[in-house]
Structure 1
Amino acid sequence: IIAIDPLPGARERALEFGADFALDPAAPDFAEQVRAATAGQGLDFAFDCAGVPAVREQAASVLGREGSLILVGITPKPLTITEGLTFNYMMKQVRGHYGATPEGVTELVQLASNGRLDLAPSITDHIPLAEAADAVNRLENKIGDPIRLILVP
């Protein structure tokens, strides 16, 4: 598992949560680092959770043969793949993902209820519902390096 994030704190957390590698997408040798981490094969799957065109383009470029780019982050901007022939030759794929199924949510709740999934480390803070605007501001501007903020009624 290779976590990719421009924020050093997020990369550190990814390693604490079990990632094998945590890379900075702005590193000049980023593609070489991905190749080294995958023994030259490239990524089997890349999940774009940011919804940023540059992220998608970079992710598509480091996919391996038959690799899939999974679009999780939502944006109204069009999807552009500039690889052209290489994308086709390597039989890469793009797949969209929009939310979770009710069955998936039920499974997550059961895993958490049974102590098999600990979500506590991903919760940065609990905030009163009346301060929702402040919570959104904290997330948007990465104030305090938040992961998840829980609104409490």
Structure 2
Amino acid sequence: MKGKHIYFPAAETATLADFDLPDAPGPEEVLVKTEYSLISAGTELANFLNLPNTGTSSNGFPHRPGYSSSGRVLAVGSAVQDLQPGDRVALSWRWHRSRDVAPVKKVTKISDAAIDMQEAAFMHLSSFPFGGLRKLQVQMGESVLIAGQGLLGIIATQLARLSGAVPVIAVDLKPERRKLALELGADYAFSPAEPDFCEQVLAATGGKGVNAVVEVTGVAKALRQALEYVARFGRISLLGCTRIPDEPLNFYKYVHCRGITLIGAHTMARPSCESHPGWWTEHDDYQTFLQYLSLGRLKIKPIISAVRDPADANEVYHDLAHNPNPPLGVLFDWRNLE
């Protein structure tokens, strides 16, 4: 069977091409026709640009990007019991492609018919900020700051509010993203470029500093800055991938002496089988995400900036990489491609 997929044959090049996949799913596999796949700009652009500490820097090209999508089941393997043809599903750790034969454990059924398939494509990516915020174990009334309002950050901002944080502080260089964060539940939104930025954070927290920080920028300078405004005994969740270690940190002054807890929050650093407080499995977070969508508690539509044809992949990635004001949430629409 043939399908279409997006891949990077070389740095700063994205191509739509044919690929081969099995004619039928194996016993524990599912054949899915993709409707939408979501670009994870941070990870995918890092590979597109061949930055350090990425898949492409380690393994070279070609590279297959993508890992969060939605679609409909076309066929199921003989051992698959909970899915059937026609079911709407969301996929995790699967690439940008028109159809896929995926292990059943990578396929999550969407039971609520009211859930929009564009929003469903965010399921897997959204589990990242779920994990990053859970590890902070935020208590009601604690202050939380989210550094960076890209896709992960804007979702983390909403989750901080849902967790009972007061105040919720969003931080981003781009004014339009700060505005969106306020619309989606942040109590304050600051630019880290302002000379009195740390003073603004202190004022918003009664002079104490923030109790918990979700660092999503992946920029070493932003982490150093977070160590300046976090409260004594505060926690910092490292959700963004700090791939380029270009900023020296005085751990003795900012971490050791002040009792700060740094938490590695890469999405792979989570239990695979059983959730416990602060450490949930991906699949449990998937179900929470879908419940939040069903109940209208999590807003995804406002963060979708563009829905693009996969044939335009090279243009899309170049725009995300080089546009000073890139779109926020970008989906590929596969419905008209086989």
Give the TM-score normalised by structure 2.
0.42
The 3-state SS of whatever aligns with 1:116 is coil
Partner of 2:109: none
- Which of the numbers 232, 243, 260 marks the counterpart of 1:92? 260
Q: CA deviation at 1:91?
A: 0.8
Q: Which has the higher contact order (CA 8 A, sep 6+)?
A: 2
Q: CA deviation at 1:48?
A: 1.4
> Pairwise mapping of residues 1-153 of structure 1 onto structure 2 (< 5 A)?
1-78=168-245, 80-82=248-250, 84-99=252-267, 101-142=282-323, 145-153=326-334
Q: How many residues align?
A: 153
Please give the alpha-carbon distance, in whole angstroms, between the structure 1 residues aligned to 2:253 and 2:299. Answer: 43
Please give the alpha-carbon distance, in whole angstroms, between the structure 2 residues aligned to 1:47 and 1:117. Answer: 18
- Structure having the higher strand fraction is 2
Q: CA deviation at 1:83?
A: 5.1
Higher mean C-alpha displacement, 103-112 vs 129-138: 129-138
Partner of 2:139: none
| 8 Å Cα contact 1:138-1:144 kept in structure 2 | no
- Structure having the higher helix fraction is 1
Per-residue CA deviation, residues 82-137 of structure 1 (Å, 9 max, x unaligned), is 25234223211111112272211222123213433331011111111222232222
Q: Percent identity?
A: 31
Please give the alpha-carbon distance, in whole angstroms, between the structure 2 residues aligned to 1:120 and 1:91. Answer: 39
Q: Which has the larger radius of gyration?
A: 2
| 8 Å Cα contact 2:227-2:254 kept in structure 1 | no
Please give the alpha-carbon distance, in whole angstroms, between the structure 2 residues aligned to 1:114 and 1:31. Answer: 36
Please give the alpha-carbon distance, in whole angstroms, between the structure 1 residues aligned to 2:196 and 2:317. Answer: 34
Letter in 2 for 1:81: L
CA spacing shift, 1:97–1:40, aligned 2, 3 Å:
same
Letter in 2 for 1:31: C
Please give the alpha-carbon distance, in whole angstroms, between the structure 2 residues aligned to 1:87 and 1:117. Answer: 33
Please give the alpha-carbon distance, in whole angstroms, between the structure 2 residues aligned to 1:69 and 1:47. Answer: 6
Please give the alpha-carbon distance, in whole angstroms, between the structure 2 residues aligned to 1:36 and 1:83. Answer: 25
Please give the alpha-carbon distance, in whole angstroms, between the structure 1 residues aligned to 2:292 and 2:211. Answer: 26
Please give the alpha-carbon distance, in whole angstroms, between the structure 2 residues aligned to 1:120 and 1:130. Answer: 23
Give the TM-score normalised by structure 1.
0.88
Q: CA deviation at 1:144?
A: 5.3
Which runs of no fewer than 5 residues in structure 2 stay unpaired? 1-167, 268-280
Please give the alpha-carbon distance, in whole angstroms, between the structure 2 residues aligned to 1:41 and 1:80. Answer: 25
| 8 Å Cα contact 2:184-2:299 kept in structure 1 | no
